Amino acid sequence: MTRRVSAFRFVENCGNYAVAAAAYGSIWDCVSSIDPARKVVSTDLEELEYDILVIAAGTTNNFFNIDGLEDRVYTLKSTSEALRCRNDILRRIEKASIETDSEARRRLLSFVVIGGGPTGVEIAGALGEMKRYVLPREYPEINPDEMRITLLEGSDRLLRTFNGKCSADALRSLSQLMVTCRLGVNVRNYDGHTVVMADGGEFKADTVIWTAGVCATPFRFVTDVDKNAYIGQGGRIIVDGFCRARRLGDDIYAIGDIALMTDGNDIDSNFPKGHPQLAQPAIQMGRMLADNLMNPQKAKPFRYNDKGAMATVGRNRAVVQLRHLEFSGFMAWLAWMFIHLISILGFRNKLTVLINWIWAYFNYSTSLRLLIQPASQPKAQGRE
C-alpha cells in the first residue's frame, strides 16, 4: 500500500447480469498499524478507513532468531534479491577464473544452500548445472572439481512436503550434479565466513543462500486482545473456515500464506493445523473469499483442493507428485515446464518463452554470464 498510483472505473453488462460500477484504487505504502476498533489502516503517509479488510501480505524469511544472519546471507524472496544473488555468484566465478592463490580460489568457488525445500533444491540444482555443464565450456581455466556446492537440510530428507520416493529421486539427481547434501544438520550461527552447526561442526563458506523457512509478514494491531489469541504458529493470523480473523473482528479477513485456519468447527478437516504455505491454497482462498463477499447469503467455508506439487532439480530432472501418481526424471521435467508455460500471460509471451527454452536446451547460451544490475539512483531523492 502507498501513494495512489492508479484508479479506474469498471462497468460491465453481461446478458441478464448487471455489474454495478465500482471505483478501484491502488495504494503503494508501508502499513504501520491496524486498528480494528476504529476500522483504520495507518500507513507511513495517511490513514485509510475500511468496511472490510483483507490481509494477504504473504510471508518473509524466517531466520530462527540467529543474530546477524539476515545481513550475511543471500535470500530469494524477491526478484531483486535473486538478481543480486545471481550477479554475485557470477562475479565470484569470474574472479576465480583469474585467481592464482589456491585457497582464495577455493573460497570463491564454495557455495552453501541452507534449506532442502523446493527452493533450496532448485537453486542447488542450478548451481550443479553450472558446475557440470557451464564451467567446462565457459570457464575452461577452472577445474569443475574446485567448485563445491553443499546443501544443508535440518530434517532427515529433502522435500519434506513430498513423499519419500520424490525425496529420494531429488537426492539422487543432486548427487548426479555433484552437489553434496547433508541431512539432519541445523545451523546455529554464521559470521560471514564460517557456518557453525548445532552439533559443533563448522566449515568455511563465503557464499550462503538461505531458503530454510518462512514466517508470516508481521503486522501491528492496535487492540486489547491478547496477541496469542489471534497470532498462531509462524506469526500467522488465526482465521476460521471463512478466512475471518474473528478474534480481531468479523470484518477482517486473512488469506494465503499469512492465514492459519484453525479457529472454529468449520475449518478444513483435512488440514486441522493449517494449510501449506503454497501458491495453490492462496489462489483458492482468494477465489473463495471473493465469491463469499459477493454472495454472503451463499457463503461457503474453504476446502483446499490439492492438485499436487512439483519441483525441478535441473535439466531433464524434476519430481512431480499428484494425488494418485508420482513420477520423476525427464517426463516430470516436461510437466514442470508445461505448467509454468501455460501460467504465463499472453500468447506472444508464451511463444517467446517457449522458443527461448528450446534454444537454451540445445545450446547453453553465453548470456548466462551477463551481469544484470540497476543503474545508480540520482542524488536528489523524493522527487515526484
In three-state secondary structure terms, 294 is: helix
Residue with cell 499472453: 346
H/E segment holding residue 354:
helix 347-362
In this prediction, residues 29-48 reach a mean pLDDT of 93
In this prediction, residues 347-373 reach a mean pLDDT of 80
pLDDT at 12 over 80: no
Question: What is the per-residue pLDDT for 105?
Answer: 92
Question: What is the per-residue pLDDT for 229?
Answer: 95
The top-level CATH class assigned to 69-214+309-369 is alpha beta
Question: What is the per-residue pLDDT for 291?
Answer: 97
Question: What is the per-residue pLDDT for 25?
Answer: 73
Would you say the CATH fold of 69-214+309-369 matches that of 3-55+223-298? Answer: yes
Q: What is the pLDDT of residues 127-176, one digit of tens each?
A: 999 999 889 988 999 999 999 999 999 999 999 989 999 999 999 999 99
Q: At what angle do helices 118-129 and 164-176 cross, to 10 degrees?
A: 20
Of 165, 75, 148, 71, nearest in space to 114 by CA: 75
Q: Residue 347 and residue 61: Cα distance in Å, rounded? A: 34
Please check whether the domain covering 3-55+223-298 is classified as CATH 3.50.50.60.
Answer: yes
- Tell me the domain boundaries of the chain: 3-55+223-298, 69-214+309-369
Of 315, 314, 312, nearest in space to 362 by CA: 315
In this prediction, residues 227-231 reach a mean pLDDT of 95
> CB atoms < 10 A from the CB of 336, how many?
19
**Which band of pLDDT confidence, cut at 50, 70 and 90, is reported for residue 309?**
very high
pLDDT at 369 over 90: no
DSSP letters for 308-333? -EEEEEETTEEEEE-SS-EEESHHHH
Helices and strands (H, E) in the chain, number of each type: 9, 21
Q: What is the pLDDT of residues 265-286, one digit of tens each?
A: 899 999 999 999 999 999 999 9
Please give the model's pTM, rounded to 2 decimal places.
Answer: 0.86
DSSP letters for 174-230? HHHTT-EEEES--EEEE-SSEEEETTS-EEE-SEEEE-S-EEEPP--B--SS-HHHH
